Amino acid sequence: MDHSFYKLIFEGETLPGFKERKVRKNLQALLNADKTALKSLFSGKPTIIRKGLTASEIRPYERAMMKAGARCRILSMADDEELPPTPLETILEEDQNQPAKPAGSSRKFQLFPRIGRVQFMASLWIIVLLGVCAHSRWLTTQLTPYYPPLEPLHLTLGLVTVACLLMLVMAARRLHDMDHSGWKSFVLVIPGINLLFLSWLIVSSGTPDTNRFGPAPHSAGIIAQVFGLWIPLLAIIAAGICGWLYQNELQQLATDVPKMIDQLMLPALKQNL
């Protein structure tokens, strides 16, 4: 019986049929590696994944690395003699022969499930609508008589609070689709940076497969496509056409903005002084 000890080496190579980006994500989840460790793994230098194990003990680690798409080598710790690798076809056959798990048995409950870009942009209309209602004097004057203790200010603050909470929830769901922590959604409370952060959420694509926050979201329905894709696209096209047709007026307006600001600010400054 062979009691020699071996080590599992990874040199940054991927198996045929696997993209390096996908392998990086698989190894990050498999080895719980941070960005620095992941960069070291793919530097091209030999990295020891496991060592001091017998041939039978180290084979499961080799199979796990190969399932992730990483090409590994098993070397003897005594003389660097290499063991023949396990054929990839054998590993794939083992996965196919394993009994399928019941649907939903391994799915973890997610308080904020993933949401795609189109659904996220469609949900922004609801948030905008709440913001408009919060600043609508007509709505507040129409609703407050039915409940006298409810003052217009209370209704406005309530609608703004609901809109802000909904925005944070939708941003967290979008971040989960991108395999990022939902806590990053609180960047939206930082003025200026929140606009760049919101643009990043709209433009960036999510992970195509199941990630740590659950399976990929369902494709957007017709209503979500209309409000989250076609209306914003038509609005951008219309804005571009208007800007091209009225470019002279826009240039004149841009030059008049400082004068307009001075006209608005100077009277207030004089009163304060």
What are the residue ranges spanned by the domains of the chain?
6-92, 121-217, 224-273
CATH of 6-92, one of 1.20.1300.10, 3.30.1390.10, 3.40.50.880, 2.70.170.10: 3.30.1390.10
pTM above 0.75, yes or no: no
Taking the chain (273 residues) in consecutive chunks of 10 residues, what is each chunk's mean pLDDT? Answer: 78 88 88 85 89 88 88 88 84 62 47 86 87 72 61 76 90 90 89 88 84 80 79 82 83 76 63 57
Q: What is the pLDDT of residue 10?
A: 92
Q: What is the pLDDT of residue 8?
A: 92
Q: How far apart are CA 81 and CA 167, in angstroms?
A: 58
Q: Estimate to the nearest angstrom the gap between the alpha carbon of 158 and the chain centroid.
A: 29
Q: What is the pLDDT of residue 252?
A: 81
- Residue from 96, 57, 88, 56 nearest 72 by CA: 88
Q: How far apart are CA 102 and CA 100, in angstroms?
A: 6
Q: What is the pLDDT of residue 256?
A: 76
What is the full DSSP assignment across 5-51?
Answer: -EEEEEEEEE-TT--HHHHHHHHHHHHT--HHHHHHHTSSS-EEEEE
Q: What is the pLDDT of residue 105?
A: 39
Q: What is the pLDDT of residue 106?
A: 41
Q: What is the pLDDT of residue 268?
A: 57
Q: What is the pLDDT of residue 266?
A: 60
Q: How far apart are CA 171 and CA 120, in angstroms?
A: 8
Q: How far apart are CA 135 and CA 114, in angstroms?
A: 31
Tokens of 52: 């001091």
